[in-house]
């Protein structure tokens, strides 16, 4: 046993106490695993008490105190030493009893009026008269269960019996303290972990395939960890789990779906699946999977995202976190595209279908999965594991990501003119910067048309270079920017300024922006605001300008870092994932500081 208020002072205190013991301090440290926290059996304002197992199984070396050690430590001295002049292992039991009461009272044993056993007598008297409550350390009382505290005090009391024969052996003491510790840990476990469990966790356990297995788990902490990992319910067709914030999540197995294209699906066992079987779909361009689902354990009035959990059969082709799959599905009368799926750590992919608010428990959700894009998924089959309801916090359905520039109207004419000149200097027309792949060989030629209808008048300065795309899968923005056009010592944003013609087509999906100068992908942008479920934090969403045009972020850069000499080289490539960009009218690019 060792005691201290901290580990460092514990070693000092124990060194002084056992300097004359037959058990070296090194062995005590080893027995307590270097005074590890898991071996603490009691806490108080004054000290910590540790348990430990010594290699000697006889019990004789628990702590044999030498005569020269006990004589000066009067408060710990065995009363029978005065009459017998000798010490036994029962003398150590008395000393240990004093130590236990020191921990219990949160104060050090003292000698008063020449009475060496004042502290021990006072402790026994308080116990006999049932006045321990007045003496027990308040901090210790807050931490310990009443039953555990009672057993601890009882053990300490019997150690202080005046006659050695009435004192327990150290082996009995250790068993009693171990029992007190188990009671305390059980109490601590209940107090800490019971509130974190679902209020109806016992009912949920009864719905599992092996309720007796979960009911045999005594520690609430173990039950909590089990619910964090998840539990299989309803004959293996529903997976229930909780988040660290207590929010409920559930996954509905693909076995609950209806498959209109019966010939295209099979049931397979898959690695790292929550369910015994998953659906293998061979024709991903004609899914026809009807999903009608009802949330059963979802927390009331908590926002949830609804995900399809799936993966492409075969080895993973890309290490990118997001993968373009273009899932087409219907919810009600609306046809929706979910463009990107995200890889999970468990090897599955998740794609957000929509967000929901659980207004009532019996709400039904219906989704018809129609197709995945073969352009990026290829001809491989896919595994579908199920639909997952995942809790989220504070979802704002109106909010979109990206930068939004708010311009204020200034009525001062001179300031307005100056602002227009500055804007003119920071705007480069499409005619000067936009190219198609074929134009890179001949920059004077553009395979599109100059849009006469969308000539731009800007404070009597005419932008005649607006370009309308006919049918293009890719185009480039290439130019050289003078240093004075950019704000120094800050980040700058490059915007594409554009409009959509009434006959535009193929402009709903995402577009990749690649920085060819640095050989990297900078971002994903949209020319039309997509469904909120498609928006990622780094994606660029179009914003309407005060002049009636639209703008979308192409590139964010630090001018000091990117500038070469007095110029900034811009070489960007915009590529659609699928289809062509038809009816996109580009006015030019504009630079503004953040």
Are both 355 and 504 inside the same structural domain?
no
Cα distance from N-terminal residue to C-terminal residue, the chain: 64
Query: With DSSP H G I counted as helix, E B as strand and the rest as coil, what are the percentages for the chain, rounded to 5?
Result: 30, 30, 40
Instruction: Tell which wins on pLDDT, 459 or 363.
Output: 363
Specify if 578 maps to a domain. yes
The residue from 50, 69, 88 where one domain ends is: 69
pLDDT at 301: 67
Are both 31 and 175 inside the same structural domain?
no
Cα torsion angle, 216, 220, 221, 225, sign: positive
pLDDT at 423: 46
For the chain, state the CA radius of gyration. 38
pLDDT at 460: 28
Share of the chain above pLDDT 70, in %: 76
Lowest mean pLDDT among 140-154, 204-218, 313-327, 479-493: 479-493
Question: pLDDT tens digits for 419-446?
Answer: 444 444 478 888 888 887 655 444 444 4
**Mean per-residue pLDDT, 70-81:** 64
The span from the CA of 253 to the CA of 246, in Å, is 22
The span from the CA of 242 to the CA of 233, in Å, is 14
Are both 292 and 186 inside the same structural domain?
no
E strands, 211-275, are 231-233, 238-242, 248-253, 258-259, 265-268
Among 501, 426, 409, which Cα is nearest to 461's?
A: 426
Are both 175 and 310 inside the same structural domain?
no
Are both 38 and 93 inside the same structural domain?
no
Question: pLDDT tens digits for 138-193?
Answer: 888 887 778 888 999 999 999 999 888 899 998 999 999 998 888 888 887 788 88
Are both 170 and 287 inside the same structural domain?
no
**Domain that includes residue 502, residue range:** 426-593
pLDDT at 282: 92
Specify if 226 maps to a domain. no
User: What is the CATH number for 120?
Assistant: 1.10.510.10
Are both 382 and 244 inside the same structural domain?
yes
Specify if 370 maps to a domain. yes
Instruction: Tell which wins on pLDDT, 116 or 384.
Output: 384
Are both 450 and 437 inside the same structural domain?
yes
The span from the CA of 169 to the CA of 207, in Å, is 49
pLDDT at 437: 61
Instruction: Tell which wins on pLDDT, 460 or 226.
Output: 226
Specify if 452 maps to a domain. yes
Token pair of 118, please?
A: 């004042």
pLDDT at 576: 92
pLDDT at 153: 92
How many domains, the chain? 4
User: What is the CATH number for 241?
Assistant: 2.60.120.260
Share of the chain above pLDDT 90, in %: 26
At residue 560 the predicted structure's pLDDT band, cuts being 50, 70 and 90, is low
Specify if 112 maps to a domain. yes
Q: Is the pLDDT of residue 573 over 50?
A: yes
Lowest mean pLDDT among 10-14, 39-43, 353-357, 404-408: 404-408
pLDDT at 71: 41
Are both 260 and 182 inside the same structural domain?
no
The residue from 69, 100, 128 where one domain ends is: 69
CB of 540 closer than 8 Å to CB of 524: yes
Question: pLDDT tens digits for 14-55?
Answer: 444 444 445 666 777 777 787 787 777 665 444 566 777 766
What residue has token string 């910590």?
Answer: 48
Among 108, 94, 109, which Cα is nearest to 155's?
A: 94
Are both 244 and 317 inside the same structural domain?
yes
pLDDT at 484: 73
The residue from 391, 414, 446 where one domain ends is: 391
For strand 3-4 and strand 48-50, is the pairing parallel, antiparallel, or unpaired? Answer: antiparallel
**Mean per-residue pLDDT, 250-278:** 91
Specify if 57 maps to a domain. yes
Specify if 215 maps to a domain. no
* Residue 389: strand pairing partners: 250, 306
pLDDT at 10: 42
Q: Is the pLDDT of residue 240 over 70?
A: yes
Are both 326 and 448 inside the same structural domain?
no
Q: Quick one: angle between helices 118-128 and 146-159, nearest 10?
A: 130
Q: What value does the mean pLDDT of the chain take?
A: 77
Instruction: Tell which wins on pLDDT, 554 or 27.
Output: 554
pLDDT at 592: 87
Are both 61 and 113 inside the same structural domain?
no
At residue 452 the predicted structure's pLDDT band, cuts being 50, 70 and 90, is very low
Specify if 95 maps to a domain. yes
The span from the CA of 190 to the CA of 174, in Å, is 24
pLDDT at 267: 94
Among 441, 447, 479, 478, which Cα is nearest to 581's?
A: 447
Instruction: Tell which wins on pLDDT, 87 or 540.
Output: 540
Neighbours of 45 (CB within 10 A): 13
Question: pLDDT tens digits for 179-231?
Answer: 888 888 888 778 888 888 888 888 989 988 888 888 777 788 888 889 999 99
């Amino acid at each position: 046993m060792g005691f201290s208020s901290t580990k460092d002072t514990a070693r000092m205190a124990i060194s002084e106490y056992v300097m004359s013991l037959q058990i070296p301090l090194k062995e005590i440290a080893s027995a307590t695993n270097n005074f590890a926290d898991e071996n603490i059996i009691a806490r108080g304002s004054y000290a910590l008490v540790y348990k430990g197992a010594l290699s000697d199984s006889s019990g004789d070396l628990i702590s044999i105190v030498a005569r020269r050690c006990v004589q000066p430590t009067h408060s710990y001295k065995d009363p029978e030493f005065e009459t017998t002049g000798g010490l036994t292992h029962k003398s150590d039991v008395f000393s240990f009893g004093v130590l236990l009461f020191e921990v219990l009272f949160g104060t050090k044993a003292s000698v008063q009026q020449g009475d060496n056993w004042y502290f021990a007598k006072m402790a026994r008297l308080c116990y006999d008269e049932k006045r321990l409550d007045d003496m027990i350390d308040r901090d210790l009382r807050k931490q310990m269960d009443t039953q555990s505290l009672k057993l601890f005090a009882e053990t300490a009391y019997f150690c202080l019996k005046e006659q050695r024969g009435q004192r327990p052996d150290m082996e009995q003491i250790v068993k009693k303290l171990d029992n007190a510790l188990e009671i305390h840990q059980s109490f601590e476990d209940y107090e800490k972990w019971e509130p974190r469990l679902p209020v109806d966790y016992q009912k949920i356990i009864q719905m599992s395939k092996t309720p007796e297995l979960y009911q045999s788990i005594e520690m609430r902490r173990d039950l909590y960890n089990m619910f964090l990992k998840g539990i299989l319910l309803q004959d293996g067709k529903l997976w229930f789990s909780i988040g660290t914030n207590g929010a409920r999540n559930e996954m509905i197995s693909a076995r609950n779906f209806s498959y209109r294209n019966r010939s295209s699906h099979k049931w397979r066992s898959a690695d790292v699946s929550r369910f015994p079987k998953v659906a293998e779909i061979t024709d991903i361009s004609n899914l026809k999977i009807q999903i009608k689902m009802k949330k059963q354990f979802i927390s009331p009035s908590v926002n949830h995202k609804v995900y399809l959990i799936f993966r492409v059969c075969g080895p993973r082709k890309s290490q990118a976190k997001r993968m373009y799959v273009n899932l087409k599905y219907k919810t009600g009368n609306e046809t929706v595209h979910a463009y990107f799926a995200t890889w999970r750590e468990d090897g599955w992919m998740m794609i957000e279908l929509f967000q929901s608010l659980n207004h009532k428990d019996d709400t039904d959700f219906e989704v018809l999965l129609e197709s995945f894009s073969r352009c990026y998924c290829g001809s491989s089959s896919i595994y579908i594991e199920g639909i997952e309801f995942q809790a989220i916090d504070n979802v704002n359905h109106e909010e979109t990501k990206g930068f939004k520039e708010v311009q204020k109207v200034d009525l001062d004419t001179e300031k307005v003119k100056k602002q227009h000149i500055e804007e003119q200097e920071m705007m480069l027309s499409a005619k000067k910067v936009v190219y198609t792949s074929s134009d890179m060989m001949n920059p004077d030629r553009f395979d599109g048309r100059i849009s006469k209808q969308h000539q731009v008048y800007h404070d009597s300065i005419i932008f005649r270079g607006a370009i309308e795309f006919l049918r293009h899968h890719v185009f480039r923005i290439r130019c050289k920017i003078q240093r004075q056009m950019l704000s120094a010592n800050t980040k700058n944003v490059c915007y594409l300024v554009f409009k959509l013609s009434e006959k535009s087509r193929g402009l709903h999906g995402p577009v990749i922006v690649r920085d060819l100068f640095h050989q990297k992908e900078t971002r994903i942008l949209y020319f039309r605001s997509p469904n909120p479920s498609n928006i990622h934090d780094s994606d660029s969403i179009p914003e309407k300008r005060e002049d009636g045009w639209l703008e979308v972020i192409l590139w964010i850069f630090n001018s000091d870092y990117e500038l070469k000499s007095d110029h900034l080289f811009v070489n960007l490539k915009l590529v659609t994932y699928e289809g062509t960009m038809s009816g996109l009218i580009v006015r030019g690019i504009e630079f503004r500081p953040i």
